[in-house]
A = this chain, B = another copy of it.
Amino acid sequence: MEFAAHGFEAASTRSIAAAADTQQPQINYHFESKEALWKAALDHLFDRLDESMRRHAAALPAPVTARDRLAVTVRSFVHAAAELPELNRIMVHESTVPSDRLRWIVDRHTRPRFELVATEWRAARATGEVPPIDESVLYYSLVGAASLAYVNAPEAELLGYNTLDPAFIVAHADALVLTFLPAPISEPQRPVREGTTT
């Protein structure tokens, strides 16, 4: 995906067309502009994100507590981030500078998903199941911790790590649940409620 590799401006319609094995004017025929193509691509990627998270959540034990629900969300998001590095790459490309495109994404895709995580976090906070961390701090810490390894996969490879190895992904998900969602203080440190996947 050209938008993920280089960002909107640097992705030329000719290279996009070439990657799709067609000609450059086809983009303006089937979409009204480069920006309309970009929006269609993002809608599609967010659909795939939702589908991927639902699929991975379904493979996990059903959650009981509010903390369990967050653990499922965290594990599902880690797996989805590994499956769809393009999406988080585009997000980080677009989120570094204010723009109409950023406003479009935030209104249409980011805010609803942020509210979902914030609501889950508030519920777990209310019962004292998770550490005393504000939801805005938590959101960016969690999303950043879950996505960077896959966004920066080419860098990780140069450092000698294969972040697309299933073993890495599972260890990564385990680590985030262990750190952000430790078992309640009165219990032992290890999280034991959720099973590990794949």
Contact = CB atoms under 8 A, between A and B. Distances in A.
Nearest to A167: B134
Interface residues of A, number: 60
Instruction: Indicate how many identical chains form the complex.
Output: 2
Contacts of A163: 136, 140
A148 B185 CA distance: 28
A192 interface: no
B96 A4 contact: yes
A44 interface: no
A154 interface: yes
Nearest to A97: B5
Contact of A172 (B85, B137, B168, B188): B137
Given A98-B154, A102-B158, A142 B140 contact: no
